Structure 1
C-alpha cells in the first residue's frame, strides 16, 4: 500500500509541472498602467525560466512606476499575448554640426549621442513588420550595424527647397528618410554621418539643418505623429519587439517532446512556430481566448454574447469552442443572415388569395405615404453619411480595426444608439451644462452607464484633425483621467461618449451645501489631478493640452478618486480669430493671462488654471465671484496674490485647512501657487514638478498628523 501511495503522488507531480504552477500564484501582474501577463513576470519565480527577457523589474519609486527588462534595462510600455509583441522605449540618437564651417564636411559642434539597443540572448527580436529605421535632418546619412559591426540598413536624408517640394512624407528629400528592418535582428547600434557639407549651395546644402536624429520606431506610431512630429534635444520613441519561446532554438516539433519545458500549458492552446527567428509562440484555439501559457488559461468565448462579431438572427446556443445558430421553431433558412429565416408554408390556396387581396389594398392605401417616407429616409441617410465622412469617420474606422488587437476598446456609435441611450436627449438625464454643450447620462446596449457630451458648435478647420485626436485620446489609460469610450460622427457636431463618474464634480463638493471635504482629502484630490495633467503633458504622444482646467471638470468616483474630464474637448470650439472675443477657450477665473495676449494654449496654461483649482481647495472660495463685496474679491487668483504681497495669505485660507495642515504646509503650498500664477509661462513649473511638490506636502502632513 505504501508503494502504491508513492506511485500516485509521483503521477500527480508529473501531471502538473510544479515550476509553471508556482510561477503564476501570488505574483504581481501590474506595474503602473502596464499589465504583465505570464510568461512574463516581475521578480524571481514569476516568469518563464527558459529564456532571458521574460523577467521584468518594476521601479515603484518613479512616477509613474517604470517597468524594465531585467538584465537589459529597456523600459517596457506594453505587452501583447495575442500578437506576441512588446513595446519598449528607445532614446533617439543625435548629432549636431556647425553649418557655417567650411573646414570640413560637417564638424560636430555639440556632443554626439548614439544609443544602441542589444537584445542578444533574450526572447526578443526587433519586429521587421511593425518597426522602421528613421532619420531626420539634412544632409545626413544614418545607418546601424549588428553586434558584429556589420552594416544592416540605413538611409540618406536631404532637403529640397520648399518651392520645389514633392508630394508625400519621409521620402528622403524632405529632411526625413526611412528603411525597413530585416528578420532575425537582435542588436542595433546606430551611426549618424554628415556628407556634402563642404558644398555651400546646390544639391545637398539647400535648407540644411544643424542637427540630425536617427532612431528605430513603431511605424504606426510614427505615422500617427505625422506632421506633428517636431522634436529636438533628447527624446524617446516606442519600438515594437517580437518575442517567442526561444530556448535552445526550440520549435513546436521539438518542444512537444519535452512535456516539462513545453510552454503551451492550456488544454485549448495551439503551438505556432515564430515568424521572426527561431522559437515558438502559443495561441488559444479558435473559439477560446485568454492566456495559453498557464493551465486553464484559455476560456471558452461566449459567441452569443458578442452578436457584433458573431451575428445570429435566430436562436443562439453557445458550445465549447463554437456556437449554434438556428432559425426559430416553425421557420427555416440561414439564421446568421438578416431576414435569412422564413416561415414554413402552411397557407391554403384560398387563404393565400384572401391574403394577397388584403395586402394589395393595404399597399394601395399606403403607397403615397411610403413614397414620402422613403424620400425623407434617403435624405436623412445622405446627411448622416456626409457628416460621417466630413468628421473623419472613414479614417477613424479604418485605424480602429488595426488597434482592436491591442486592447483599445473604442466604438463609433450611430445616431440611433445615442438617442436610445439618452431617451432621445431627455431633459431628466442632463448631468450638466457648459459653454460648449450639454452632458447627458446614458445607458448603452451592454447595460453600461456612460456620460454623453453633445456640443453646440464646431470649427470646420478642426474637423480634419478630429479623427486623429480621437485615435490618440482613445488610447489614454490613466486611473485619474475619465476614459473616452467612443464617439458619434453621424451628426453635424460630433458627440463624445465617456465613462460615467457617479459622484459629480469637485466644484460641488467644495462649494456645495453638503458635507465639507477634509483637508487631507483635498490634498489627495489635488495630487491625483496634478498627476493626471502631468501624464497627459509628458507621457502622451503627442502631448495633450486640456485648455479648460477647473474644479467643475474634475470628477469624483464612488471612492472620491479624482478623474480629470474634458481632455481635448476645447478643440471643438471655434478657433477663428474673429470669434475669439466671444468664444474664448477656458473659464473666467481660470484663464491664463498670457493666453489672452497670445491666443496660444500651452502646457503652462494648464498649470495656471490648476493653481486656481488648488486655491479653491485651500480657501474654500470660488475662482470667480462677480458679486463679491469688494472689487478685488471677484478673482480668487488676484485676491491671493494681493494677500501674499501684504503677508496676509494665511487669513484667507479655509479655517479647517489652516488648523489641520499647519503653517509650514500652507506656506509651502502658497509658494507653489505663486509660482504657478506667474504672468510669464516660462517662469511656471511643469505639471510633473507640481504633482511631485504636492506629494511631498502630503507626506509631510501625514508624518505630522
Structure 2
C-alpha cells in the first residue's frame, strides 16, 4: 500500500493539470462537445484492481491493461506500462481519452471514464471478453467462415466511417490493424486503441503530426509525403481486408500486399487462398471483395475509395448470394 500511495502523491495537482489539459484538447478537437464520462478516483481504481494485482493483467504491449471490478461491473483499466511518465506516453493516453470521448459507436470500444489524479490519466473502458482478430488468425484453430469474415470487415468499416464522418473534423485512427480489432463474447468486432489517433482541424494540412503507425499497415504515400488524411486509414483497412482474405497476418507475411496485387494481375489468386475460403466462397462475393481490397491498397491515396464507399460496397457484397 505504501508503494501505491507514493505513485498517487500530489493527486490534487495532477487532477487540476490533467483536467485542464483534457478540456483544452477536447475543446480544440470537438468544439467542447463529447460523450459524458465518469471521473474516477485513484483509490477507486486501486480497489478495482486489488492494488494493481499482476494476476489481473490482460496485456502489456504499449500499455498495461488490467481487468477490474468497478462498482460491480467488470471493466478494462488501461495504465501506462509500469506507470512510466514521459511526454510521448502522456500524449498517447490523452489522445485516447480525447478521441474516445467523441465516439459512441457499437463497433468501437467504449470509454467509460478516466482517473485524473495520476501523473498520466488512467483510462477505464468497457471490458471485451473475447480476443483479437490477430490472435484468432495466428492460432491453430480453423479459420472463420467466409460469411463471418465479411461481417467483421463490414463492422470495422462502419466504425472507421463513423470516425471520418460523424464530426466536422475527421478523426484519423492511424493504427488500424488486426491486433486492434477485438471480439466480444458474441464475436462482434470492435475497434480499439486510439493512442495514435488525431483530429484534423480546419486549416491543417495533415503534415503536422509526423508519420506513426505499425509497419506493414502504414500507407506508403503517407510514409513518403508525411501527409495524413482519411485515405491513410483506408490503406490500413485494406491490409486488414487481405488478412481476412488470406487468413494471415502481414507482420508474418511482409509481402502480402505485393503478392495479392500480382495475383490479381495474373488471375491466380484462387491458388493461394486458404482451403476454407475455397470451399465456402460465393464467386460473385469473392470477386467483388478482392476488387475492393485492391482499390484500398493502391499506392496513391486519390486512387482509393473513401471509407464510406468501402462500407457501402461491403454491405452490398454481403447482400449477394450467401452460402
Aligning the two structures, in what range does the TM-score lie when normalised by the shorter sequence?
Answer: 0.7 to 0.9
Deviation at 1:689, TM superposition (A): 0.6
The C-alpha deviation readout for 1:168-198, integer Å capped at 9, x for no partner, is xxxxxxxxxxxxxxxxxxxxxxxxxxxxxxx
Considering fraction of residues, name the structure with more helix. 2
66, 69, 93: which is aligned to 1:443?
69
Aligned equivalent of 1:618 = 245
The C-alpha deviation readout for 1:551-586, integer Å capped at 9, x for no partner, is 11111112211111113x1159xxxx9x97xxx632
Q: How many angstroms apart in 2 are the aligned matches of 1:433 and 1:518?
A: 30
| Structure of higher CA gyration radius | 1
242, 245, 256: which is aligned to 1:636?
256
The C-alpha deviation readout for 1:613-667, integer Å capped at 9, x for no partner, is 1111111111122xxxxxxx53322221232233222222222112212333222
1:329-368 map, 5 Å: none
| Structure 2 SS opposite 1:615 | helix
**Count, aligned residues:** 303
1:129-144 map, 5 Å: none
Q: Any conservation in 1 of the 2:172–2:197 contact (CA below 8 Å)?
A: no
| Structure 2 SS opposite 1:701 | coil
Runs (5+) with no aligned partner, structure 2: 28-32, 199-206
Q: How many angstroms apart in 2 are the aligned matches of 1:378 and 1:493?
A: 14
Q: How many angstroms apart in 1 are the aligned matches of 2:172 and 2:224?
A: 18
- Asked if residue 501 in structure 1 is aligned to residue 128 in structure 2, the reply is yes
- Per the normalisation by structure 1, the TM-score is 0.39
Q: How many angstroms apart in 1 are the aligned matches of 2:292 and 2:101?
A: 32
Q: Any conservation in 2 of the 1:476–1:540 contact (CA below 8 Å)?
A: no
| Structure 2 SS opposite 1:653 | coil
- Asked if residue 665 in structure 1 is aligned to residue 285 in structure 2, the reply is yes
Deviation at 1:454, TM superposition (A): 1.7
| Structure 2 SS opposite 1:621 | coil
Considering fraction of residues, name the structure with more strand. 1
Q: Compared with structure 1, are the counterparts of its residues 692 and 458 closer, same or farther at alpha carbon in structure 2 (3 Å cutoff)?
A: farther
1:63-82 map, 5 Å: none
Q: How many angstroms apart in 1 are the aligned matches of 2:20 and 2:287?
A: 51
1:214-225 map, 5 Å: none
Aligned equivalent of 1:424 = 51
- Asked if residue 454 in structure 1 is aligned to residue 79 in structure 2, the reply is yes
1:257-656 map, 5 Å: 381-382=9-10, 384-393=11-20, 396=23, 408-434=35-61, 436-444=62-70, 446-456=71-81, 458-459=86-87, 466=94, 470=97, 473-567=100-194, 569-571=195-197, 585-625=212-252, 633-656=253-276
The C-alpha deviation readout for 1:277-306, integer Å capped at 9, x for no partner, is xxxxxxxxxxxxxxxxxxxxxxxxxxxxxx
Q: Any conservation in 2 of the 1:450–1:500 contact (CA below 8 Å)?
A: yes
Deviation at 1:450, TM superposition (A): 1.0
Deviation at 1:389, TM superposition (A): 3.1
Deviation at 1:514, TM superposition (A): 3.2
Q: Compared with structure 1, are the counterparts of its residues 472 and 591 closer, same or farther at alpha carbon in structure 2 (3 Å cutoff)?
A: closer
Q: How many angstroms apart in 2 are the aligned matches of 1:666 and 1:378?
A: 57
The C-alpha deviation readout for 1:21-65, integer Å capped at 9, x for no partner, is xxxxxxxxxxxxxxxxxxxxxxxxxxxxxxxxxxxxxxxxxxxxx
Deviation at 1:523, TM superposition (A): 0.5
Q: Any conservation in 2 of the 1:547–1:606 contact (CA below 8 Å)?
A: yes
The C-alpha deviation readout for 1:440-463, integer Å capped at 9, x for no partner, is 21111x111111222346537975
Q: Compared with structure 1, are the counterparts of its residues 564 and 624 closer, same or farther at alpha carbon in structure 2 (3 Å cutoff)?
A: same
- Asked if residue 697 in structure 1 is aligned to residue 317 in structure 2, the reply is yes
Deviation at 1:545, TM superposition (A): 1.4
278, 282, 300: which is aligned to 1:680?
300
Q: Any conservation in 2 of the 1:537–1:545 contact (CA below 8 Å)?
A: yes
Runs (5+) with no aligned partner, structure 1: 1-372, 401-405, 626-632
Deviation at 1:608, TM superposition (A): 0.8
Q: Any conservation in 1 of the 2:8–2:118 contact (CA below 8 Å)?
A: no
Deviation at 1:421, TM superposition (A): 1.7
- Per the normalisation by structure 2, the TM-score is 0.82
1:141-152 map, 5 Å: none
Q: How many angstroms apart in 1 are the aligned matches of 2:230 and 2:78?
A: 24
